Amino acid sequence: MYKKYGNTKTHWNILTADTILKREPLMNLKGKWEYEDGLMLNGIYQIYSNTGNKEYLEYIERNLDNFIDNQGNIKSYAKEEFNLDHVNNGKIVLDIFNETKKDKYKLAADKLYQQLLDQPRTKNGVFWHKKIYPNQIWLDGIYMGSVFYAKYQYLFNISDHLDDVVHQFLGAYKATLDKNTGLCYHACDESRKAFWCDPNTGHSPHFWTRSLGWFVMAMVDVLEYLPNSLEGKQQIVGNLNSLLESLKTFADQNTNLWYQVTDEGDRPMNYLESSGSLMILNAIAKGLRKNYLSEEKWGSFLDKAYEQALLQFISIDHDYVNVNKIAHVGGLGGPQKRDGSFAYYMSEPIVANDHKGVGPFLMLSNEMEIRN
């Protein structure tokens, strides 16, 4: 953010939400049901909840209606792919159902919930990330699937599978944790067969900041849907605090932000990456508001980081807010044979205004508006 654009007191949540409404009347011109659009809509909904501006709610409903018909069928969604990414948008579907009570949204959410009940699992009972990635646990997938898993049960007063929600979080943490750094790897292949994984641990080669961002956001988000009496809830709180403490040790000391490859900030070509940094900061801000984290430990860190995030990542052009320095994608395997190497993470395009960065900025700026 060039200094003339504003400062930490600027109403970035409203400016950015208004930018989305003007710049992107349709959230997905390809007609694809994509997780990053749900991430962006989640941010818009949080700002609606904070401001009461009905234009934001109308925007969400209008865009969801491009995908969901009156029978709750979702355009371009295929259950048989068992893709956790495709469940993420279910969270905003639940919010809009709660606002409108229209049956089609409940029917759509039912379909996504049923996918989770049938989702393939590792031997340890953690969801596969996708059918095409057998036996693989990705941190991304916890955010995509398991927060919705809990939210659906919370909204409809179901408790049958809440212990399984906890198991997803604790199982993924255990499977991906590196005890030396306290960080979690992007993914783990339980079968040790993927060409990218360590043959002994099953871990992917590197720590990737956005995957860690997905995970800490998921932990903060899921807690409000779990009863305090549920066994394992406090362990999620403990894991959240431990992972964030480890992340703090790898934050850039000048900015309190994070590099694309989390633990190699001094390596040539590595760069401060916005989407992952914004996700982690959003988790910290919401965690503070919900009292999962200590203000004494995290308050000043967050305030400095937010100011630096605005300077490093945010610009304004023709009254439109831009979120810059977003790693376009990051994955493992697939047709591109992504190997999870440092070179791979450096090779992915760096883009602006991708919803994987815009969504977390909407959420973070809204949390900071509440905080200030």
- 355-371 and 35-51 helices cross at what angle (nearest 10)? 20
Instruction: Return the DSSP state at 128.
Output: P
Q: Which amino acid is at 327?
A: A
Rounded to 5 degrees, φ, ψ at 135 are 65, 15
Q: What is the mean pLDDT of residues 141-169?
A: 98
Q: Which residues on adjacent β-strands are paired with residue 121?
A: 127
Label the pairing between strands 187-189 and 314-317: unpaired
Q: Which residues contact 29 (CB under 8 A, 6 or more apart)?
A: none
Q: Please tell me whether residue 83 adopts helix, strand or coil conformation.
A: coil
Q: Which residue among 18, 85, 140, 164 is the active-site one?
A: 140
Counted domains in the chain: 1
Residue listed under structure tokens 């030396």? 180
Q: How far apart are the first and last CA of the chain?
A: 19
Q: Which amino acid is at 366?
A: N
The model's pLDDT over 345-356, given as tens digits with 9 standing for 90+, comes to 999 999 999 999
Say if CB 83 and CB 130 are below 8 A apart: yes
The model's pLDDT over 100-129, given as tens digits with 9 standing for 90+, comes to 999 999 999 999 999 999 999 999 999 999
Band (pLDDT 50/70/90 cuts) for residue 5 is confident
Calpha distance 24→32 (Å, rounded) = 15
The model's pLDDT over 7-53, given as tens digits with 9 standing for 90+, comes to 999 999 999 999 999 999 999 999 999 999 999 999 999 999 999 99
Range of the domain at 347: 3-371
Asked if residue 264 has pLDDT above 90, the reply is: yes
CATH number of domain containing 91: 1.50.10.10
pLDDT at 4: 75
Annotated catalytic residue 140: yes
